[in-house]
Amino acid sequence: MLQGSKRARGDELLVHMIKLQRITSKVTDVRMQLRENDSEQSTRLIYPYIFALNAQLAETKGQLRPHLATNKMLEAMSLHTEICINDLIFTRLGHCPLLDDINSMEALLNCLNAAKRAVDIMFNFKPTKYTYFPFFLWRQFRTVILTLIRLASFEDPAWDVNMVRRTVDITSILDKTAENLSNVQTKVDDGITDHENVVSNSLAWVIRMRSCLLAIYGQSTDAQAPTSDMQSSMGITRYGNVATQAAIPGRSFNHRHILITR
């Protein structure tokens, strides 16, 4: 009976993880559609997309039973989904100033708050627990860091990058992450495991991000936006999210499905 109960809870966790992944996939579909038709007019529907997807996320979170509502890994995945949704606003801001769209500021602040909470959750785990992290969690944490860096370097007269830097000390986050990763035991019987490759690659990526961040901060005191070369070295695409890179070319998109489906 106890084993059956544990299995049922595991299945329930998997169901909610799939629901979150489906929402993230819809974000990718929107992003790919916008890439195919990159114009100011096409980006006017971005906020309705964001609103609808956030509503779907809220509904999914509202369905969580108490024992899942406190699951930190599921919460981290939920925050990653929230970041991906609101990160869509950067596509709109590529065509109009922040002050021209009253909803853009809300989306940026949602990104910032979700990223900050995601970092807090990550640091609640002891480094010894990193050994058991699935690969997708590391990939999602990269999205969190890239989003924070972009928010801390986004150039717009209405956006206060110093507020971002006061809210989240990205340099300290990268330093602590590097320290934690350095303390992870990955060798088994003197052999190299797949997990060791994940940890070592993540550590190298964190160190590279720190160098990029310091270069960005050093450009000017008013935080100029990174150049395209710098963005490329950071792994930031034009649309500012690694989810784009995971998209499947040619994947179909239906905006009515995005807006209506719950």
State pLDDT tens for residues 192-201: 455 567 788 8
Q: What is the CA radius of gyration of the chain?
A: 19
Report the candidate in 17, 169, 174, 177 with the shortest Cα–Cα distance to residue 81. 17
73-99 pLDDT per residue, tens: 999 999 999 999 999 999 999 999 998
Pick the residue with more confidence: 245 or 103?
A: 103
Q: Which amino acid is at 89?
A: I
Token look-up 């784009």 returns: 244
Cβ-based burial of 260 (10 A; exposed 0-12, middle 13-18, buried ≥19): exposed
Helix (H, G, I), strand (E, B) or coil at 177: helix
Mean pLDDT of 126-130: 82
Query: What's the confidence (pLDDT) of residue 127?
Result: 83
42-74 pLDDT per residue, tens: 899 999 999 999 999 999 999 999 989 889 999
CA distances from 79 to 98, 131, 139, 162, 242 (A): 24, 21, 13, 23, 15
Alpha helix (H) ranges present in the chain?
2-36, 46-62, 66-69, 72-87, 89-93, 104-124, 135-151, 161-167, 170-182, 194-217, 228-234, 255-260
Mean pLDDT of 100-107: 91
Contact between residue 202 and residue 138 where contact means Cβ atoms under 8 Å apart: yes
Structure tokens given for 246: 């995971």
Q: Average pLDDT of the chain?
A: 79
Pick the residue with more confidence: 189 or 220?
A: 189
Query: What's the confidence (pLDDT) of residue 5?
Result: 56
What gap in Å lies between CA 4 and CA 233, rounded to an integer? Answer: 48
Token look-up 């919460």 returns: 75
Query: What's the confidence (pLDDT) of residue 246?
Result: 30
pLDDT at 206 over 70: yes
139-156 pLDDT per residue, tens: 999 999 999 999 999 999
